[in-house]
Chains A and B, each alone.
Chain A
Amino acid sequence: MTSTLAPAPTAATPTAWRGSGFATQVLVLTQRSLRAVVSDPRMVVFSVLQPLIMLTLFSQIFSSIANTPGFPQGVAYIDFLMPAILVNTAMQSALQAGVGLVTDMKNGVLARFRSLPIRLSSVLIARSLSDLVRNAMQLLVMIAFAVTIFGFSPAGGFFGVLGALALSLVVGWGLGWVFLAIAAWLRNAELMQTVGFLAIFPLMFASSAYVPISGLPGWLQAIANVNPLTHAVDAARGLALAQPVTGAVAAIVTSLVIAAVGGAFAVKGFRKPL
């Protein structure tokens, strides 16, 4: 061991590093999370496995729904289903953002980040951005499957699907901040999973995701009509099917508001000592 390990405040020593700018922090930390995805692509494969199974099962089991009264005329069930699957997958991904944060908190990496001269909010923003990218990859894989295997080809064409994809990403990103906030306060991965499942699962079924609302029993219709997910799914579906889109702007605005509120709580919770 010949060179010096530690500070020797002489002329030869490079200038001390006293912390990077906020943008660099976000960039470097986002790259870090994404590198984990690239170095272990199994994570992406596994994360699309569940939605792929849902896509396969639902598209086969419920395909006869397309022949029932109340179902939009001349629309194939896969074209009806796929936008909902996209929104659902984005929501699952939002949950994973929270789980990922808790994992970081547990394995000590965050303790090191906390001892560095950086802004803690950059850690959260990086987490959110990298999950957005990961989610986009997942959704693209899903769409590729749906097009090649199940004949997904909605009336909205390429741009319609792109719109549905973008909307799903915005919704998932907004919800991701809610789960980041929950993660920052709960700090428990198992609890996160349970809370997330309990929140997402009933919401998905009590909505317009898998069957038209008119096909639901009355009490469920009442819930579905106020369920924010119904509006997100309807908006994504409207874009994909090239139907008059009613709620796209509302869905985006709502997501941004959710992101802002969730973000504020997430940063506040995250600042609490480990």
Chain B
Amino acid sequence: MTDLMIEARDVVKAFGDVKALDGVSIAVPRGTVLGLLGHNGAGKTTLVNVLTTLLPPDSGTARVGGFDVVGQAHDVRSRIGLTGQFAAVDEQLSGTDNLVLIARLLGASPREARQRAAELLELFDLADAAKRPSRTYSGGMRRRLDLAAGLVGRPDVIFLDEPTTGLDPSSRLSMWEIVEKLVSDGTTVLLTTQYLDEADRLADSITVLSEGRVVASGTSSELKAQVGQRSVTVTLASATDLPKAVESLVRAGLHPVLDVEHNTLTAPVTASRELAVVVRALDEVGLEATELALGEPTLDDVYLTLAANKAA
């Protein structure tokens, strides 16, 4: 028996005429992170809702922690944690009361529940705000409380539906660190995101969804190999310098592409240290870049490349 904590096979879910999921299959081994990448409306949240027993699939099967999401919903629910796109905390209740409520519903005694709540609030840096109604929390705090609520029962599998959408960069970073900590403790995570860098940082493998279908899957590096790597864009002061620059970069082993209109040339690079190669190559022919930029492939690049591959 393989130790798959999440397994979906040919899951179909339609809303009226719209097929939100059109035969999706995924498999997530224990202790790993699957990044589910896709734009709004790609079907990410619908898949999370099916896997967390909130929506029954029209056809296909899904198992979480070895339990069927339809036939053994109760078993699934007692082993998962869910953090949604919209922080599902009770705004009237304090941070403590929110977590105590969940713990009590899960079967903890009042004392155990208070203990667990205090533990999580401390961990998520919310101890100072523990007694305040959660409606007074900032967006980042609310999201952390929501994540804490999903972790009360020490779940085996955690579903994070766009956990950092709408968060400022520092809250985003702290959310990432929390997720990394969870994974190092052996939790299995399914993370949906619109950001390639987020999936890149957190996920062991990435599945790209588009219009309810899996259009690509693999590790981050496999996906990037498909998409094309990062690239360096060099802007020069004068267009007349461009041929000389191209020549020098080719000599250095790069494959630059010219954009005469903007006086720029772009070359794919495999590592950021190749930035130095570019600078040196330009220096050798006595040129200086007015601007030097390292570009990361985005979700759009993934989609564009996948679409291009399909057309080819």
Contact = CB atoms under 8 A, between A and B. Distances in A.
Interface of A: 1, 3-8, 13-14, 16-21, 24-25, 28-29, 32, 35-36, 39-40, 107-109, 111-118, 273-274
A18 B79 CA distance: 8
A273 B69 CA distance: 14
Contacts of B74: 19, 117
A261 to B, nearest CB: 26
Contacts, number: 124
Interface stretch (B178-186, B256-264, B290-298): B178-186
A18 B88 contact: no
A25 to B, nearest CB: 6
Contacts of B210: none
Interface stretch (B146-154, B222-230, B274-282): B146-154
A107 B102 contact: no
B93 A32 contact: yes
B185 A6 contact: yes
B300 interface: no
Nearest to A28: B104
B27 interface: no
Contacts of A20: 104-108
A17 B56 contact: no
Contact of A8 (B54, B77, B155, B185): B185
Interface of B: 49, 52-56, 74-75, 77-78, 80, 82, 84, 86-93, 97, 101-108, 112, 119, 123, 133, 149-151, 153-156, 158, 177-178, 181-182, 185-187
Given A18-B78, A108-B87, 6 more contacts: A6-B186, A16-B154, A18-B106, A20-B104, A108-B84, A112-B102
A35 B92 contact: yes
Pairs A-B, 3 closest by C-beta atoms = A108-B88, A36-B92, A17-B106
Nearest to B74: A117
A273 B77 contact: no
Contacts of A1: 123, 177-178, 181
B155 A14 contact: no
